[in-house]
């Protein structure tokens, strides 16, 4: 949150291993340092004040531990273990009775610049809602994500809203608006002629929901340009609904995908590929994608190849489900559409093949703040409940190359407390009582 009066400049302090070393500059900074970090009037270095969180139990990202407590210092987890072993002297104690403390959840596939298609169709959002309006909505979406326990999101394309994801990320990092940690992709990349909006007068050149690029020169330039604009990941569309035949068809060649991956790799940027067809998935796997988005048409052979190449699947079950006959919150009782039945079968094939699953829902297609639906569907579609929790915590942290998703010393203190025990009933993740991001309490 923005400070009302004083502005503390973080550059006047250095954080090393949970200690704060601060320099005296003015009386104001000294006072602020004393207030915030317990620096003595003589400028001696003291440990930052710790916070001890006392829930009923802790899910540490791998397993459940009854009677554990967690100590946080600065932006990191300092200690976790049986409550009696966690020293609380001098610490602020937060009691969280009847709750399970766990890593903040990860939304592996979001679009904060989109709102529910049930409110406004995608094409009307892209064509008729301008940047300022879309950004204003996104501010609410980001708050909703954080308050519903999602402390990290990987946002996979602004869908025509330029680089607003990077700008929103800056606003969060500068404390102007509340929101989760964001991994950004900026505009995403599609092959010319394949994406949308479509169906306008053919002589019009209609702005697209992605940046178009093809071949060596243009792909090199666009990948580098998006990284230059702040993309943490590159997102490309490996297939899409285009051409004279119904359904999705591959877009980029294997050589083009390899070029994208190699170019991004130079900057340490991983590549996520939207693909729903077996051939699109095959090219994504062999081309070096780190994650495949959706993967609806995956076969047992394709998923075996994914597992062998260590490519993670972000299954977006919620959006597959949402597009079909099921009303929200009433999943199991409804008859399945053929599309949902196919998705259920392909997801089972992915689990059987041992593919790494990153929980990601494609939220934005439906309401922000309801990303928990993806975890419920992971379980409803046959994933053991602890594995579903891992897909949004410890496994997600590894797939995204971040120090998140586990409750253990040294990890970032992104923690939530939910009512009940989510390892017994996954719906417990919908009752978020407490949210901390980077050691700062966002909801209590």
What's the min distance (Å) between Cβ of 196 and Zn ion?
Answer: 13
What's the min distance (Å) between Cβ of 156 and Zn ion?
Answer: 5
Residue number, 158 or 406, with CB nearest to Zn ion: 158
Torsion, CA 5, CA 414, CA 317, CA 304, rounded to 10: 140
What's the min distance (Å) between Cβ of 319 and Zn ion?
Answer: 7
Residue number, 100 or 291, with CB nearest to Zn ion: 291
What's the min distance (Å) between Cβ of 362 and Zn ion?
Answer: 4
Where does residue 362 fall: left (phi above 0), alpha (psi -120 to 50 degrees), or beta otherwise? Answer: left
What's the min distance (Å) between Cβ of 442 and Zn ion?
Answer: 25
Cα separations (Å) of 30 from 6, 36, 52?
Answer: 13, 10, 26
Q: Please identify the residue of the shown chain whose CB is closest to the bound Zn ion.
A: 362
8 A C-beta contact, residue 399 and residue 108: yes
Helices in 87-233 by DSSP H: which ranges?
122-128, 131-147, 164-173, 215-228
Point out which residues pair with 153 in neighbouring strands. 107, 182
Report the distance separating Cα 148 and Cα 370, nearest Å. 7
8 A C-beta contact, residue 286 and residue 253: no
SS3 179: coil
Residues within the interface to Zn ion (CB under 5 A): 362
Residue number, 157 or 439, with CB nearest to Zn ion: 157
What's the min distance (Å) between Cβ of 407 and Zn ion?
Answer: 29
Maximum Cα–Cα distance across the chain: 76
Closest residue by Cα to residue 195 from 138, 122, 133: 122
What's the min distance (Å) between Cβ of 410 and Zn ion?
Answer: 32
Report the distance separating Cα 137 and Cα 443, nearest Å. 21
8 A C-beta contact, residue 156 and residue 114: no
- CB atoms closer than 10 angstroms to residue 198: 12
Residue number, 211 or 362, with CB nearest to Zn ion: 362
What's the min distance (Å) between Cβ of 378 and Zn ion?
Answer: 17
Residue number, 107 or 362, with CB nearest to Zn ion: 362
Residue number, 188 or 213, with CB nearest to Zn ion: 188
Residue number, 360 or 397, with CB nearest to Zn ion: 360
Residue number, 108 or 287, with CB nearest to Zn ion: 108
- CB atoms closer than 10 angstroms to residue 262: 14
């Amino acid at each position: 949150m923005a400070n009302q009066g004083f502005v503390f400049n973080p550059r006047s302090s250095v954080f090393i291993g949970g200690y704060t070393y601060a320099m005296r500059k003015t009386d104001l900074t000294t006072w602020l340092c004393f207030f915030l970090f317990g620096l003595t009037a003589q400028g001696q270095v003291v440990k930052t004040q710790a916070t001890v969180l006392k829930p009923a139990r802790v899910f540490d990202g791998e397993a459940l531990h009854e009677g554990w407590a967690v100590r946080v210092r600065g932006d990191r987890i300092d200690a976790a273990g049986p409550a009696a072993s966690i020293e609380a002297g001098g610490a602020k104690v937060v009691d969280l009775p009847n709750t399970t403390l766990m890593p903040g959840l990860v939304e592996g596939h979001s679009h904060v610049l989109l709102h529910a298609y049930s409110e406004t169709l995608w094409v009307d959002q892209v064509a008729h809602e301008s940047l300022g309006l879309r950004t204003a909505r996104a501010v609410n979406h980001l708050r909703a994500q954080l308050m519903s326990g999602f402390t990290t999101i990987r946002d996979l394309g602004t869908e025509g809203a330029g680089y607003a994801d990077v700008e929103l990320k800056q606003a969060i990092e500068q404390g102007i608006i509340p929101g989760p940690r964001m991994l950004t992709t900026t505009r995403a990349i599609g092959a010319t002629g394949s994406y949308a909006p479509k169906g306008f007068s053919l002589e019009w050149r209609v702005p697209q929901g992605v940046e178009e690029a093809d071949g060596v020169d243009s792909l090199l330039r666009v990948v580098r340009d998006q990284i230059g604009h702040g993309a943490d990941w590159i997102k490309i569309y490996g297939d899409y609904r285009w051409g004279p035949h119904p359904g999705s068809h591959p877009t980029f060649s294997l050589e083009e995908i390899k070029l994208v991956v190699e170019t991004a790799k130079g900057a340490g940027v991983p590549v996520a590929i939207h693909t729903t067809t077996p051939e699109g998935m095959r090219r994504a796997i062999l081309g070096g994608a780190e994650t495949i988005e959706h993967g609806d048409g995956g076969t047992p052979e394709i998923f075996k190849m994914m597992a062998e190449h260590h490519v993670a699947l972000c299954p977006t079950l919620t959006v597959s489900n949402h597009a079909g006959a099921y009303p929200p919150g009433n999943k199991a009782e409804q008859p399945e559409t053929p599309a949902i039945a196919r998705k259920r079968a392909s997801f089972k094939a992915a689990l059987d093949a041992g593919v790494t699953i990153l929980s990601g829902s494609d939220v934005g297609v439906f309401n922000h703040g309801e990303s928990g639906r993806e975890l419920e569907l992971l379980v409803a579609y046959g994933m053991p409940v602890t594995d579903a929790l891992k897909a949004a915590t410890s496994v997600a942290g590894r797939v995204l190359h971040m120090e998140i998703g586990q409750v253990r010393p040294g990890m970032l203190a992104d923690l939530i407390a939910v009512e009940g025990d989510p390892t017994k009933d996954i719906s417990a993740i919908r009752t978020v009582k407490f949210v901390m991001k980077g050691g700062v309490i966002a909801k209590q």
